[in-house]
Structure 1
């Protein structure tokens, strides 16, 4: 296993913890600094990287036949505290941006889900507006999409073919180039939280935003255009916007339980607990 890390302190903590856990299970691990050039872990079976900024790194290792593990901030985004800004949980996906390819194949127990103490609301059957949850420019580039503004404009035009409901455009808060779009109310910045945007919503439309996770918890169905993590329990066609899929409570709870097995804390990485769960997705 080769972990490619940037010079960010939180990636250093993550890389060290991940490597220790791999070694704990008797496998070999090495941590390498990103150089700014495309790097291929030709002497390893698995390449690990952080975030969608790793597009070229991801593609180069994938083309070389090397398994990839992509890490990013967890689906449940609690702060870890401490002197270095990081998250309590880091999400893990094997050979993909999200674990949707294998997420529902193996039913997981609810033990890890219960530890998260998430508030899960019943599906909402009465709602008003539609939320378009945007992603960053780096995310869109990772998937070969137009810039987030152009992509959101095309979504609005497409949505209007099926409904006249009000639309709220919610860009990724950290994307500094976000602008208002004709045909939608603009929700951006710290003046309005995602929870406030979701209040009274009929549905959420997104390609890959984590807002779909927040929406499902709030009981709001989603239309998934890409590979967002709620895809296994959501509609995937805008034509379904007036009657989006709302799976049975048991299936939604199973999705959440399985998802809890796709995010881990630094101590869980370091102890090898995370690697014990991740490894079978690579080697069977």
Structure 2
């Protein structure tokens, strides 16, 4: 199998070092031919890029998009981690998409890795705590063009019509836009810029589009409504606002076991453990 890593998709010197010192050795651990390229595109079985095709500087993002456009399937993408509560850095690693539509594990995985990572899930919460609507960064790759503020306003307006429970809109912490405050004022609802753990601790229901905060909510035991199939918490959530009074509270154990196989440390990548898990997912061209 021929694998090409595109150095042009790295953002800085440390990431270039990661490519040469960890990524390339790890991908070659099972006898595959691995090249590091500065070219726009080289025909191969697996193309490897760092970060989503829309993230980072325009030049880096354009390089990643060119590879995505020219390669097709078996595009291996290294992204930010799914579970962010672990202190050691992990890369999210999967084929062809950075969210749930990607290929991250070969099937139902054992719980050994989740246990080793210390991942736990709290019992499902009951009660009538506030309904929190999770915002995202406008233009985020996972939104596929959706206007996230417009979505939040529409969701909040509908929730107000069907429920008397307290309602809160929570912008992404890296989005300082005053548009969120204006939307909250127009609707007469709270807009929270508190830390995520603060809002998770008080939430009765969490509503998200593709926000990764839905994963945190589900792990914390907050009944969650995911309104996009691309959300990693789709399997362990409700999918309609009609579910506000009858939340999904099923088993999450297999979901957690599979989730643990979406992300890997630099050392695990360098030792070939990540590629050993993913290699069987390469599809024939």
Kindly state the Cα deviation for residue 136 of structure 1 after the two structures are TM-superposed: 1.3
The residue aligned with 2:233 is 230
Q: Is the 2:95–2:102 Cα contact (8 Å) retained in structure 1?
A: no
The residue aligned with 1:195 is 197
* RMSD (Å), alpha carbons: 2.6
The residue aligned with 2:244 is 241
Q: Is the 1:62–1:68 Cα contact (8 Å) retained in structure 2?
A: no
Are residues 207 and 58 of structure 1, via their aligned partners in 2, closer, same or farther at CA, if it must alter by over 3 Å? farther
Distance 1:282 1:74 in 2: 21
Is it true that 1:280 corresponds to 2:280 in the alignment?
A: yes
Kindly state the Cα deviation for residue 59 of structure 1 after the two structures are TM-superposed: 7.8
**4+ runs of 1 displaced by more than 6 Å?**
none
The residue aligned with 1:208 is 210
Are residues 46 and 103 of structure 1, via their aligned partners in 2, closer, same or farther at CA, if it must alter by over 3 Å? closer
The residue aligned with 1:18 is 23
Kindly state the Cα deviation for residue 67 of structure 1 after the two structures are TM-superposed: 2.0
Kindly state the Cα deviation for residue 279 of structure 1 after the two structures are TM-superposed: 1.4
Q: Is the 1:104–1:255 Cα contact (8 Å) retained in structure 2?
A: no
Matched residue SS, 1:137: coil
CA offsets per residue over residues 72-95 of structure 1, 9 Å max, x none?
A: 221222344xxxxxxx21112222
The residue aligned with 2:139 is 138
Kindly state the Cα deviation for residue 100 of structure 1 after the two structures are TM-superposed: 5.0
Distance 2:161 2:50 in 1: 38
What TM-score comes out, normalization by structure 2 length? 0.82
Distance 2:258 2:154 in 1: 33
Distance 1:61 1:151 in 2: 28
What TM-score comes out, normalization by structure 1 length? 0.82
The residue aligned with 1:29 is 34
Distance 2:281 2:66 in 1: 19
Is it true that 1:253 corresponds to 2:253 in the alignment?
A: yes
Q: Is the 1:6–1:33 Cα contact (8 Å) retained in structure 2?
A: no
Which stretch of the first structure deviates more once superposed, 149-158 or 9-18? 9-18
Q: How many residues align?
A: 265
CA offsets per residue over residues 149-173 of structure 1, 9 Å max, x none?
A: 2232122123334323222211111
Q: Which runs of 5 or more structure 1 residues have no equivalent in the other structure?
A: 81-87
